Amino acid sequence: MEQARSRSAEGSAEPAVPDIRTESARVPPQLRPGDEVRERGVATGSTRGEHTHSEPPIPLPRVEERRHSGAGQEASPGAERFPAEGGRPVVQRSSVRGQILDALRTALVAGELTPGEVYSAPALGERFGVSATPVREAMQQLALEGAVEVVPNRGFRVVVRGARELAELAEIRALIEVPVMLRLARTVPAERWAELRPLAEATVRAASSGCRATYAESDRAFHRAVLALAGNEQLVRIAEDLHRRAQCPLVGGPASRGRAELTADAAEHAALLDALVAQDLAVVQALVREHFAGAS
């Protein structure tokens, strides 16, 4: 009887967050209806043994709706920041994990989540007004993307990126994308490049806002559209993953680039399109390498 009670207790205990350094991280199954939102605003701070005390606060998400201006397509619902209601951000019950994932990605790019700091899923869930489960699922996805790492029984540590790592990412992006750009310059007709002008103009408008997260999203949209002309979906996925990693703030540097730097970076998109239309391969290569080197 004692052994049976012991096995029953062990079976009901929730396992600790896996350490991705020793096992493969995976995103848990999607939530059942009603599982994802905390009832009556009660936090589950003891979930998985994650500590919520002495955790650095992060700003609550701002109300912000980003669209791909000029592209004729509206951004996905998960790309919106959460509106605040009664001092707490409100998350729609549909696609909770997706909304949390987008909000955390934005917070990482904006520098609202500090590199090297550990954040627990219950504490973040309390700030977002949801349970720890969708936050933990979103964090597991970010761990797969290399943005955070699992700290057993504590939560997730934001990965620290230095100048050397960002330079390495820029080199890898150039190795992959420059040959593709040169091939596209020789084969894609001018009218196809003209279709991307609205996306290039959207990056300029995003840069003028001075918001690094807003600009990062429009910057990825432009590069994704360019590479999509190659017709290689795997290329687009790999390039976007590298792009996301390169957009994390530099440790020891400013939390975000200024409006002038963002605007100069955005202007390079129009210059790149001009060089692609003119089939000026030397300029295309130089612009892409310079653009990647200054993207951090």
- Tell me yes or no: is domain 163-293 CATH 1.20.120.530: yes
> What Å distances lie between residue 121 and 101, 124, 155, CA to CA?
12, 5, 6
153-162 pLDDT tens trace? 899 999 988 8
Positions of CATH 1.10.10.10 in the chain: 11-158
- pTM for the full predicted model: 0.65
Cα separation, 143 vs 138, whole angstroms: 9
What integer best gives the mean pLDDT of the chain? 75
Q: Which of 42-46, 48-52, 180-184 has the highest mean pLDDT?
A: 180-184
DSSP per-residue codes, 223-244: HHHHHHTTT-HHHHHHHHHHHH
**Tens digit of pLDDT for each residue in 4-16?**
444 444 444 444 4
Contacting residues for 89 by C-beta, under 8 A, at least 6 apart = 60, 61, 82, 83, 127, 128, 129
Quick one: CATH architecture of 11-158?
Orthogonal Bundle (1.10)
Q: Using CA atoms, how far apart are residues 166 and 149, in angstroms rounded to an integer?
A: 18
State mean pLDDT over 268-276: 96
Residues of the chain with CATH 1.20.120.530: 163-293
At 136, the pLDDT band (50, 70, 90 cuts) reads: very high
